[in-house]
Structures are given as structure tokens and as C-alpha cells.
Amino acid sequence: MSTPLASLKVSWLLAQKRLELIPHVPTDAEFTVVYPSELRDPREFLSPGDAAVVLTLGLAFEEDPESFEDYVIRLKAAGCAAIGFGTGLCFPAVPKSLISAATKHHIGLFEVPRKIPFLSILASVHGEFSRQLTRTQDRLLALQEELNKAAIHGGLEELLHRTSTVLESAVAVIDNDGRIHASADYQQLSAVDTARRAVATGRGLSRAEINSVIHRMASQGERHHIFVVVHHAPLHAQARALIKHSAGLADILLQRPSYLRKARSELNTLALSLLLGIGGQGQAISSALHSVTDSRGELRPMVVQADDAHRLQKTLSTIDERLGDHGRTFFALPLDETTALVVLRGTRGVQECAAHCGDHRSRLRIAVGAPVLWNQLSLQSVEELRTVAAATPRGDTSGPRTHGAKWLKDPVVQDILRRRTEEVLGRLRSHDRETGEELCDTLVAYVRAGGSMGLAAEQLGVHRHTMRSRVAKISRLIEVDIDDPLTRAELLLVVVANAPTSGTSG
């Protein structure tokens, strides 16, 4: 992170057209302050290290213009970047002796016409410095937010890795016993040895080519941690502010295990109370679900079904992250490798629930149930939602008013579907066992994709020609016209009714 102290180039000043400055000895030197002065020797009032632009009318040299060379020599020795000479009052033009001296001693020189007040130059420079400061502060806030996100989503390791990248430095965190808790190298730099030296001697490494910042973090009893940064060049104020911010975040992360331990203890107590029936199971469950129920004690179940286990895990991670961004707790229960139950607050709408799935939504089948009191959520209602999700086209969301598959549970319907399942899926499964083909999975993908060869092929990871060949073979084996929409609808019911339930596979 290379953000030096605010400075401007003399060439920038000359480029401000409204000032109408006229260069006589051009320079690309940088300056940090503009100082109007009519003293023959203004060095006493120039701060050491400041590269100044000195503005003068030459009043002190009106009778002695040949002394300009000594004047230039003194300003050059003081680190002056350029001289702005005002004409039209004491001197009608910039004196040749001043031009000659500035050229000889390599210091910038420009003319300020009489109609341009020195105050205009000061105002322009001050305005630009203010804009630079605002940009620097905005950048600092943005970087702090990056570090916050790294700490929240990636923990100590990710925080140090991001800090190392931002500062272009090596970073390490060590405790007073010499244990390295995390570290991040930068190019050839490592902060580990410096951290260990800091613990052993109380001092870090500081040579001409290597610098270190050692920040002692808050104590926890007899233990404390040290945040060490190693870098090639001295760090500026903004970088040091980021170091303090990152060290503060690291401090919170290192103390977090105590909070996690407390939460784990509460979870263990809940498990024992449920096992032994002590203290009332309803009360224990109500306490555990308190953060997900709304003010009426209601929650909203949502079943998410993906094409594969990897997609489901990425979806659950996205939901967890989005809930975390809103300070909400994540409740989820895998039903099988590709299906999971997620519980959200009862006040959430159907689309609001589905939106938590983020960009994965277009590749999921989602069924959102009606808000229900926490103690009325049952396995039967979850299985009904699961059946609805299985029947929902990929990329769609079914809500309480858009699904009505309870009739599928009717015993008569179930018996019919069982017989049809054996006729269709049973025949294909037998064929697959004998030949090693995957016609059963192909049929499931095809009917769920609404007869789209492209979508089904994408889901199975095969070429469309392979998909078309398999579908034709399925039609011959089960002796139906699979291209007929009514036939596909019947087969979809068979597939949905045969969807695996909790604790089963198939």
C-alpha cells in the first residue's frame, strides 16, 4: 500500500489554466506547501523536510536584483521546489538574473501575472490537498471494510493474508510463549523470525533494508499476543492505522474461542436435557430455536434440492453467509446428499426466503412452506415439502399457494404409482444393473427438465447426442412415446413419488 503524504507536482500547478502561470524554468519537482514571503532569507520560516513553493514579488530585491542568485542558493539549500515570481508591481517581468540563477541551481521558476492574486494559488493547492485527503480517507475506510470481511468470513488466517496483500508486507501473530498462531509471507519477506525475536528480546528487526512494526495486543490473564509486520520501506500513517485495525480484529478472533466454548457448553447442556428429559424438552428446544422464530414463535421451512452434493453445499454456504450478514443464525438439516431443509423466520416471504440462495437459485428446486409454530413443524410436513421440491422445475420456487401435491399421499394414488414405478423404473434399473448404463438417471433428469435435452444433458454432464441416444433407448425399453407431453407428465409423477425420503436412498 504505497500512499505517501499529500504532495503535488509543480507541473500540476502550472497546468491550472485559470491561474495563467507562465513557466520560465520547468520542473517536475513535488511540493507540500505554498509559502508567500518577501524576506531575503525565508529559511527560518520553512519547516525542515517541506518542499515548498515560495511566492514573492521581489520587494526585497527591487534595488538589488543581482542578489537573486544568493536568494536562490538559500532556497535550494532549504529544499525549495520552485519560486513563483509576481510581476507587474516591483518588476515588469521576471528578472534575467533570477532566471539565470534558477536555471543554474536547478530550481523551478514560474511567473505569476499581476491579475492573479497569490491567494488564488493558495486556494487551488488547498482544494487539491483536501480532495487528496478525502480520497485517502475513503480508501482507508474501504480497506478497513475488506479486512472486516476477511476476519468475519475467513478467520485469522484470511485476515493476515489480506493484511499482507494490502500492506505489501509480511505479517505474523505470536503469543508470549513463542507460539505462532498465524502468519502470511509477502514475496521474500517473512515475519516469523522477527516475531520470535520480539518475544525473546522485546525488540524486532530494523535494518536499512528491512523494517518492522511490533504491536502488543490485549492481555488475557497471563497471556498476550504480538502482531508483527515486516516490510521493506517505512510505513506511512494510513498503513499504520490499518495495522492497528487489523491487530484489533485479530484480538477479537483470538478471544472468540472463549465465546465459542460458552456456546458449545450451552449446546451440550441442551443435548443432555433432551436425552434425559430433564427440564422439559419443549423448553429446551424453544430456547435453541429462539433466534430463528419470529415474535409469534413461528418459523418458515424451506426445502432446497440441487443436482449434486457440491452444488447443495455451496448453496448452504451462501445462505449461511447471507444470514450472517444480517446477524441471523443459520439452521439447516441435510435430508440426503442433494436435499436440505433450511428454517427461516416466519415473517419472511416466499421470494425473500428463496433469495437467500443467491446465484445458485437458477440451478435449484425450492419449496417454501407456510409459516408454522416451531412445535408444529413435523417430519411429515418436511417430507411433503420435499416431494413438492422434487416436482418443481429447476430454477423455480414453489410456495404454499403454488403447490398442491398432498393428493399424491392418498393410498389409492400411492398404490397406482408403485405399480407404475415398478413397470418403468424397475425395468430401467434392471437394465442398468446388467449393462452398466444409466438410463434410470437419464429418465429422471429428462422429465424433470421438462423434456429439454440441453438441460438434462447439462445436469448429467453428457453430450446432447448421448442424451438423445439414451432417451430413444428408454422409449424402446418401456414401450412409450417419451416425446408426448402427457406421457412425460405421467413419468414425472412416477419420479416424484419415487423421490428418496430421509434416511433412505434410492
Measuring CA to CA, how many Å separate 268 from each of 183, 271, 414, 425, 442?
33, 5, 42, 45, 45
Low-confidence ranges of the chain (pLDDT < 70): 1-5, 202-210, 220-222, 256-288, 327, 401-417, 496-506
Give residue for cell 503524504.
Answer: 5
pLDDT of residue 316: 93
**All 3 cell numbers of residue 434?**
446388467
- Domains with residue ranges and CATH for the chain: 8-116 (3.40.1390.20), 154-255 (3.30.450.40), 298-406 (3.30.70.270), 410-497 (1.10.10.2840)
Note if the pTM is more than 0.85.
no
Question: Are the CB atoms for 402 and 384 separated by under 8 Å?
Answer: no
Q: What is the pLDDT of residue 259?
A: 57
Closest by Cα among 287, 291, 315, 290 to 303 = 315
Q: How far is Cα of residue 451 from the mean position of the Cα atoms in its chain?
A: 39
Helix boundaries (H) for 326-405 = 350-355, 379-391
| pLDDT in the model for residue 287 | 65
Compute and round to an integer the Cα radius of gyration of the chain: 37
Nearest residue to 140 via CA among 46, 242, 11: 242
Per this entry, what is the length of the chain? 506
Find, among 78, 104, 80, the residue nearest to 24 by Cα: 104
Pair 171, 235: CB distance under 8 Å: no
Q: Outline where DSSP puts E strands in 6-60.
A: 8-9, 22-25, 30-31, 33-36, 52-56
Question: Cell 487489523, residue?
Answer: 246
The residues pairing with 366 across neighbouring beta strands, listed in sequence order, are 304, 397
What pLDDT digit, counting tens, does each position of 124-175 carry? 999 999 998 888 888 889 999 999 999 988 889 999 999 999 999 999 999 8
Burial of 25 (0-12, 13-18, 19+ CB in 10 A): buried
Report the amino acid identity of residue 266. Answer: E
Long-range contacts of 439-443 (CB under 8 A, 24+ apart): 439/470, 439/473, 439/474, 439/477, 442/467, 442/470, 442/471, 442/474, 443/474, 443/482, 443/491, 443/495
Cell readout for 428 is 430401467
Which residue's C-alpha cell is 492573479? 116
Q: What is the pLDDT of residue 2?
A: 46
Name the residue among 56, 141, 66 with its Cα closest to residue 97. Answer: 66
The Cα 144–Cα 152 span in angstroms is 12
Alpha helices in 94-236 (DSSP H): 96-104, 118-167, 192-201
Q: CA 284, 289, 359: angle at the middle one, nearest 5?
A: 155
Q: How far apart are CA 314 and CA 80, in angstroms?
A: 60
